[in-house]
Structure 1
């Protein structure tokens, strides 16, 4: 299974997600894709196998990913204070991969029915969802 983790700004969400995924799924290929080099670097230090930065890196890597994970803003053009370009958001949404999104208030997207909780709890939830994909046949 190949997991692409996408993040921007300082890469804190991606870093925490990569750390938890690496602990739970040590043999899984994790690709860190940052909207900027700081985010990419943070995710690489957290244990991603490889990393790449920018719009083309998003477009290229989401095509072959089994799972794309990150803050919900990766689906929204101009989210993260403009770091997520329209092309990045379109590539993520068009990817055949499963998308595991973490609700983040700063992205100005609210999903009705989602219970407010600490970011660390959302990250744990995301890791559990991704772990379930590893034991479920593709389809």
Structure 2
């Protein structure tokens, strides 16, 4: 099973996700691969340090990773071109959106994207809830 975590900026959200998914490893299938894709090298390095099995940076790795991912996890902005301060390209957004993977998107109300009906939770709480949602599939 392949879990792809996508993040940009400094990679804080992605690193928290990788760390928490790694801690929940015992509750995941034994063949789980945790793959980190950063929109920049700082985000990639943070996620790799937090426990990702593999990592890559940039547009093409997003395209390749989304092809066969079982789960894609990251901020809501990975579905919107030019989000994350312009780090998400239109091609990346289409790759994420058209992937057959289950998508677990964290509602970060920034970059003019506001999710109505969702409270403004801390990053820690959002990542905890994302990992719990992931585990609910097993």
TM-score normalised by the chain length of structure 2: 0.93
Q: Could you list the runs of 5+ residues in structure 1 that have no partner in the other structure?
A: none
Alpha-carbon distance between aligned partners in 2 of 1:41 and 1:104, rounded to the nearest angstrom: 21
Q: Counterpart in 1 of 2:110?
A: 106
Alpha-carbon distance between aligned partners in 2 of 1:80 and 1:101, rounded to the nearest angstrom: 14
Q: Report runs of 4+ in structure 1 exceeding 3 Å deviation.
A: none
Instruction: Count residues in correspondence.
Output: 134
Alpha-carbon distance between aligned partners in 1 of 2:128 and 2:111, rounded to the nearest angstrom: 20
- Aligned pairs for 1:52-63 within 5 A: 52-63=56-67
Q: Deviations over 1:52-96 (max 9, x none)?
A: 110000000011000000011100000011100000000000000
Matched, 1:4 2:4: yes
Alpha-carbon distance between aligned partners in 1 of 2:124 and 2:61, rounded to the nearest angstrom: 27
RMSD, matched Cα:
1.0
The CA deviation at 1:116 is: 2.1
Alpha-carbon distance between aligned partners in 1 of 2:69 and 2:111, rounded to the nearest angstrom: 23
Q: Could you list the runs of 5+ residues in structure 2 that have no partner in the other structure?
A: none
Structure 1 contact 3–69 (Cα < 8 Å) conserved: yes
The CA deviation at 1:114 is: 1.2
TM-score normalised by the chain length of structure 1: 0.92
Q: Deviations over 1:2-26 (max 9, x none)?
A: 1000000110000001000000125
Structure 2 contact 109–115 (Cα < 8 Å) conserved: no
The CA deviation at 1:107 is: 3.4
Structure 2 contact 4–66 (Cα < 8 Å) conserved: yes
Structure 1 contact 72–107 (Cα < 8 Å) conserved: no
